[in-house]
Amino acid sequence: MYDFKGVAKSGSFLSILEQARQFAGIPRPVLVRGERGTGKELVARFIHDQSLRREKPFVVINCAAFTDELINAEIYGHEKGAFTGATETRTGKLEQADKGTLFMDEIGNMSPAFQDRILRVIEYQEFERIRGTKKIKVDVRIISATNADLDELITDNLFRSDLYDRLTFAELKIPPLRHRKDDIPHLIVHFVHELHMEMPNLMNKTFDRTTVEAMMDYYWPGNIRELKNIVERLYLYGSDDLILPSQLPAEITGIAITGESFNEKVEQYKRQLIFEALEKADNNQRDAAHELKMTYDQFRHYYKKYSQPSNIL
């Protein structure tokens, strides 16, 4: 069970956890929204662990990880001989989650055809395996998550509004790390503790106060996932027992653009422009695109690209 003890300190995130506790006791669907890397699955697990279903399965499926055909097989299961390679009957995620919770991640990536089918399943809690003839009844709580702008997808007829209604008895919006910077020192300690649990003989190191301050000033486009990545790299690389600001990536310290090649320098500069514009626009992507004289689609492309945790240290 993940209880966020000692990790969540900011008022905005503690408020989210309090809402999650309240929703946990109500056996209805919950939608968790937030940017990449904000911990949406952890919050979903927290809701499950706080609910009466805590002793039953918590089953995860990433809707962006499968083709339309494969996600049907993953969700519903299939009968023996349903397709080439189906040498035996297989239960799907819905059956596996019976009496428990099914966490559907990245629902903004579901195709229209899959949305049509899953809508009926959520409403009636029954389905058939692929090539099956028997109705299978389940008791599953759905928690879903997305970083997509569902309102825009609905406007563009790419996401069904009635499916949104079915998935959203309650909705939680996870604040990005830049809006809960008080959590950063506690998260650093937490990730270091995890490293020592994994590698007990690891040398003890200390993050200098100015290093932590520089990390608190950073925008963190990759959120907690990016923070964990950087903490681990700082802690595992190098032999010094004091981690100084000079060891931080250039995008955190604001040092001049670095890189071995022209293309690397250009990529770093593009990344900097995207997030400076986003910060100036108070995280409104349309306004940030306008600021950079880009189309909204162009901005979204670059934002998605540069939101991945940095590999530069």
Domain membership of residue 217 (yes or no) is yes
pTM (predicted TM-score)? 0.78
Helices (H), 125-261: 150-155, 161-167, 184-198, 209-217, 223-236, 250-253
41: exposed, middle or buried (C-beta count within 10 Å: 0-12, 13-18, 19+)? middle
Cα 51 to chain centroid, rounded: 21
Domain membership of residue 2 (yes or no) is no
> Do 214 and 165 fall within a single domain?
no
> Do 144 and 117 fall within a single domain?
yes
Stronger pLDDT, 67 or 98, i.e. the higher one: 98
> Do 199 and 153 fall within a single domain?
no
What's the average model confidence in pLDDT over 26-39?
Answer: 93
Domain membership of residue 163 (yes or no) is yes
Q: What percent of the chain has pLDDT over 70?
A: 91
- Domain housing 130: 11-175
CATH number at residue 122: 3.40.50.300
What's the average model confidence in pLDDT over 212-236?
Answer: 92
Give per-residue pLDDT as tens, 70-97. Answer: 898 899 988 876 676 766 888 899 999 9
> Do 129 and 263 fall within a single domain?
no
Give per-residue pLDDT as tens, 172-187. Answer: 999 999 889 889 999 9
pLDDT at 2 > cutoff 60: no
Q: How far apart are the C-alpha atoms of 293 and 236, rounded to whole Å?
A: 41
* Count of domains for the chain: 2
> Do 207 and 154 fall within a single domain?
no
Domain membership of residue 171 (yes or no) is yes
Amino acid at 114: F
Pair 163, 115: CB distance under 8 Å = yes
> Do 41 and 127 fall within a single domain?
yes
Domain membership of residue 313 (yes or no) is no
> Do 283 and 215 fall within a single domain?
yes
